[in-house]
Amino acid sequence: MQTSSQKLFSKALRLNLLLSLAVGVLGSGLGVLFFGLPGVYSSLIGAGVSAIFGAMTIGSIRFGSKLGLNGFYALVLGGWLLKVLLFALLLGALQGATFISGPMFFFAVVGSVLGGLAIDSYVVLNAKIPVVEN
The contact set with other proteins (CB under 8 A) reads: 3-5, 8-9, 50, 53-54, 57-58, 61, 65, 69, 72-73, 76-77, 80, 83-84, 87-88, 91, 94-95, 100, 102-103, 105-106, 109-110, 113-114, 116-117, 120-121, 124, 127, 129-133
Smallest gap from Cβ 5 to other proteins, in A, equals: 4
Closest to other proteins by CB, 37 vs 84, is: 84
* Long-range Cβ pairs for the range 82-85 (8 Å, 24+): 82/56, 83/53, 83/56, 83/57
Give helix then strand counts, H and E, for the chain: 4, 0
Q: Are 49 and 106 in contact (CB under 8 A)?
A: no
Q: Read off the amino acid at residue 3.
A: T
Task: In angstroms, give the least distance from the CB of 25 to other proteins.
Answer: 20
